[in-house]
């Protein structure tokens, strides 16, 4: 399988999060930890669209926590959720235009905390890039999913228009995606 992978570069990530999020579904996260290589197929993502999106961390403005959202496309944004779970996001778009994509699920790992635990993703990756990174990258092996759009999950604090936006993208053929 390894010889069929095409590691994705800057151009893939340097676009609006609503274009990137569905295109990440079906791609592979390639994670290297020591001599071990872990590969998971992304089955579900969510787009977070900047300061005007009340579900996005950037909606409250630029802070130490949200600084990563303002960086180059491909930057990794890892944050602690509920004080116990690391969540993995990839920044998209242009510098200073805060937006990103949450990697919500992968095959065999039906939640963002489960996949980060398996892949050993934590705050040590925050601020690094998936572009040219020997520890973590995103690759394409030619697989093409069938995409379904749904409402994002866990954003009850957001304005109704943002709660109802169909900004969650999932492979409809994957049985372990959340059907909310």
pLDDT in tens, 129-143: 999 999 999 999 999
Number of domains in the chain: 1
Average pLDDT (166-173) is 95
Residue with tokens 């990794």: 76
Of 175, 153, 171, which is closest to residue 162 (Cα–Cα)?
153
Residue 178 in any domain: the answer is no
- Compute CA distances 116 → 70, 103, 107, 134, 169, whole Å: 22, 9, 13, 17, 19
Residue 104 in any domain: the answer is yes
Domain containing 95: what range?
2-171
pTM: 0.93
Reported as a single tens digit per residue, the pLDDT across 75-122 is 999 998 876 899 999 999 999 999 999 999 999 999 999 999 999 999
CATH number, domain with residue 146: 3.10.300.10
Residue 30 in any domain: the answer is yes
Q: Are 43 and 51 in contact (CB under 8 A)?
A: no
Residue 180 in any domain: the answer is no
């Amino acid at each position: 399988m390894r010889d069929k992978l095409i590691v994705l570069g800057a151009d893939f990530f340097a676009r609006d999060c609503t274009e990137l999020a569905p295109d990440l579904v079906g791609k592979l996260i390639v994670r290297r930890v020591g001599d071990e290589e872990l590969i998971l197929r992304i089955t579900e993502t969510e787009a977070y669209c900047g300061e005007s999106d009340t579900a996005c961390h950037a909606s409250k403005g630029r802070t130490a926590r949200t600084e990563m959202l303002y960086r180059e496309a491909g930057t990794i944004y890892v944050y602690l959720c509920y004080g116990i779970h690391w969540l993995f996001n990839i920044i998209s778009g242009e510098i200073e235009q805060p937006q990103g994509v949450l990697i919500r699920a992968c095959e065999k790992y039906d939640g963002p905390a489960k996949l980060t635990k398996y892949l050993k993703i934590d705050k040590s990756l925050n601020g690094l890039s998936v572009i040219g990174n020997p520890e973590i990258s995103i690759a394409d092996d030619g697989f093409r999913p069938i995409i379904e759009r749904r409402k994002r999950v866990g954003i009850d604090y957001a304005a109704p228009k943002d709660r109802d936006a169909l900004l969650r993208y999932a492979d409809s053929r994957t049985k372990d995606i959340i059907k909310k």
